[in-house]
Structure 1
Amino acid sequence: MSQRRVLVVEDERTIAESVAARLRAEGFTVDLAHDGPTAVARAQALHPDLVVLDVMLPGFDGLEVCRRIQADRPVPVLMLTARDDETDLLVGLAVGADDYLTKPFSMRELVARVHALLRRMEKLAGAAVPAIIIGDLEINRAERRVRRSGVEAHLTPIEFDLLVHLASRPRTVLPRERLLAEVWGWADASGTRTVDSHIKALRRKLGADLIRTVHGVGYALEVPA
């Protein structure tokens, strides 16, 4: 992981330099961009392994940056937001962000999230796995494609991984903390709202009946018709 390249996109230069310095200390190659157009151009030219992306940027915002770089080449995106607003977070997830941090954040947590995202992508790249078919739900893990009743749904990488995790254990209630540990690779339960946001996105794309909430515990995938 020491040779991995990270693109940090942040218009506040003090924050950008602090994040870059910490990631370089962890062994990453780090490039910087301070506005939307430059971020897209550098992502297309440098092919980073991961992007740390602020939402509020000059030129155009981080949501548009995420949309454009994901359309060009899928890449894990850790989004930084100054507001803990659920609508903003859902929009970010919808355009291809894999994870998010709300400012102010600790450098230790940011580094942990970066490592967790990269570990997950490495694990997926090395896995040869069969398709999952449950009722009218078809999950092609080799091609990372999902169809329900023959209609394809376009999921972000983390949405796909979360769905696979639930579908591998249909009707089994999986606690939020376990999902965080096994899908995101987080060692603590500080991001349970992250799970909730991604579940809402899956329901919106695949149907509200597919995933059952067990209040105070977690989620289970129901067997569709």
Structure 2
Amino acid sequence: MRLLLVEDDRELRVTLREALAVEGYEVLTAASLADAMAQLAHAGNLDAVLLDLGLPDGDGEELLQALRRERSTPLIVISARQVEGQKIRLLDAGADDYLVKPFGIGELLARLRVALRHRGTVAQPAVTMYRRAGLEVDLTAHRVRRDGADVHLTPTEFKLLARLVRQAGQVVTHRRLLADVWGADATEQTHYLRLYMAQLRSKLEAEPAEPCVLLTEPGVGYRIAEPG
């Protein structure tokens, strides 16, 4: 699912983007009202919007009004402002929820799932911890271990592994993996997958030639074995 995150605080924006990416969301970001308006006009389909109010070139409430004139996309306000009257006004204007900073990532994710569910979209919590056959993957901590020892993965290797972990036990097609890891323009480049899967197996499998964790579904895609 695709989200638009509107937040001018760079550190918070990066933190939220990374946390949402771990959960499997594709995150577009904007640091100003103008940028957010442009994203809204050209981004195509969006599944949700996370909106800060205090932006350098205006108030996020303008974006809420623009969004509601055209779409029913779930929108959650994330703001340090705690004035009850403003909360009520924004909720009445069409915001699905109002979350006061500072807040926990877990609470944000739960409220996002509720907002999506109210619009008929069910978003299950993603698998972020995986253990099997001596392999431990913690997507939140960005850490991979094999038999208790840390394993270094390249950013692309980690992104590919994370994509499989988020759907542990399920087959992910070649096209889906290529689109999610390398982008929509790479969906025919299956040699990327073969190369990186071989590299992952060499680092993570006890017997890379006879993998028991990173499995091939011939002619379809790959899956990571169910945890256990």
Q: Out of 24, 42, 49, which is 2:39 matched to?
A: 42
Once the two structures are TM-superposed, the CA of residue 123 in structure 1 deviates from its matched residue by 5.8
**TM superposition outliers: structure 1 runs of 4+ over 3 Å:** none
Unaligned runs of 5+ in 1: 125-225
Q: Is the 1:67–1:95 contact (alpha carbons within 8 Å) kept by the matching residues of 2? A: yes
TM-superposition CA deviations, 1:25-59 (whole Å, max 9, x none) = 00011000011111121122113110000011122
Give the Cα–Cα distance (whole angstroms) in 2 for the partners of residues 123 and 106 of structure 1.
23
Structure-to-structure mapping, 1:97-176, within 5 angstroms: 97-122=95-120
For 1:86, the equivalent position in structure 2 comes to 84
Report which of the two structures shows the higher radius of gyration computed on alpha carbons: 2
Q: Does 1:9 align with 2:10?
A: no
TM-superposition CA deviations, 1:164-190 (whole Å, max 9, x none) = xxxxxxxxxxxxxxxxxxxxxxxxxxx
- Percent identity over paired residues: 36
Against the structure 1 CA distance between its residues 20 and 98, is the aligned structure 2 distance closer, same or farther, given a 3 Å change threshold? Answer: same
* SS class of match (1:7): strand
For 2:30, the equivalent position in structure 1 comes to 33
Give the Cα–Cα distance (whole angstroms) in 1 for the partners of residues 58 and 52 of structure 2.
11
RMSD: 1.5
Q: Is the 1:44–1:72 contact (alpha carbons within 8 Å) kept by the matching residues of 2? A: no
For 2:147, the equivalent position in structure 1 comes to none
TM-superposition CA deviations, 1:70-90 (whole Å, max 9, x none) = 112221100012022111101
Unaligned runs of 5+ in 2: 123-228
For 1:139, the equivalent position in structure 2 comes to none
For 1:133, the equivalent position in structure 2 comes to none
Structure-to-structure mapping, 1:179-194, within 5 angstroms: none
Q: Does 1:71 align with 2:66?
A: no
Give the Cα–Cα distance (whole angstroms) in 2 for the partners of residues 54 and 64 of structure 1.
11
TM-superposition CA deviations, 1:120-177 (whole Å, max 9, x none) = 21169xxxxxxxxxxxxxxxxxxxxxxxxxxxxxxxxxxxxxxxxxxxxxxxxxxxxx
Give the Cα–Cα distance (whole angstroms) in 1 for the partners of residues 63 and 88 of structure 2.
16
In the superposition, the TM-score normalised over structure 1's length comes to 0.51
State the AA in 2 paired with 1:28: Y
For 1:196, the equivalent position in structure 2 comes to none
